Amino acid sequence: MLNFAMNDKCAAGTGRFYEAMANAFEMSLEDFYNLSLSAKNVIPITAQCTVFAESEVISLVGEGKPMEEIAAGIQMSVAKRCFVMAKKAGATDSITLTGGCAKNAGLKDAIEKVLKIKVIDLAIDPQLMGALGAAEYARQKGRNA
């Protein structure tokens, strides 16, 4: 790892945000993650707050807008927030994602489009990375004690 950035301002772009969006669509996270991949167009989601974005999505669904295009808008919204973090971390040609959102194919696709860089999959389960980092941190601290 060369550098690291994490969204610490709000839940937008985290697993909880995606859970709320999947609930608004009344589908599983896995189904939601893949829904945007079939979109022909993107319906922008303007709200960044999870609560407001959920209300916006529910309104769009109620209007009968194509669900895959709304989902693509959600993925693009998160990818645009990732853009700032990736640039701050100095990303130039590739990045990797960790945690549950790393399993989101729609997010990876949106990030590659917005950032114009490759998202590299990890060889191990990306949800283990936080635990592995904590274990390594403890190991290093234990040596220095």
pLDDT tens for each residue of 36-87: 999 999 999 988 778 888 899 999 999 999 999 999 999 998 898 888 888 8
**Cβ-based neighbours of 65, under 8 Å, separated by 6 or more:** 43
Residue 90 falls inside a structural domain: yes
**Model pTM score:** 0.83
Residue 21 falls inside a structural domain: yes
Report the pLDDT value the prediction gives residue 125, as an integer from 0 to 100: 93
Residue 55 falls inside a structural domain: yes
Average pLDDT, integer, range 115-121: 92
HSE of 67 in the Cβ direction (CA atoms, 13 Å)? Answer: 15
Tokens found for residue 50: 């999870």
Residue 80 falls inside a structural domain: yes
Residue 6 falls inside a structural domain: no
Residue 131 falls inside a structural domain: yes
Report the pLDDT value the prediction gives residue 103, as an integer from 0 to 100: 92
Per the structure, the count of domains in the chain is: 1
Residue 83, domain CATH:
3.30.420.40
In terms of residue numbers, what domain contains 64? 15-144
With 90 as the cut, is the pLDDT of residue 20 above it?
A: no
Q: How far apart are CA 3 and CA 52, in angstroms?
A: 32
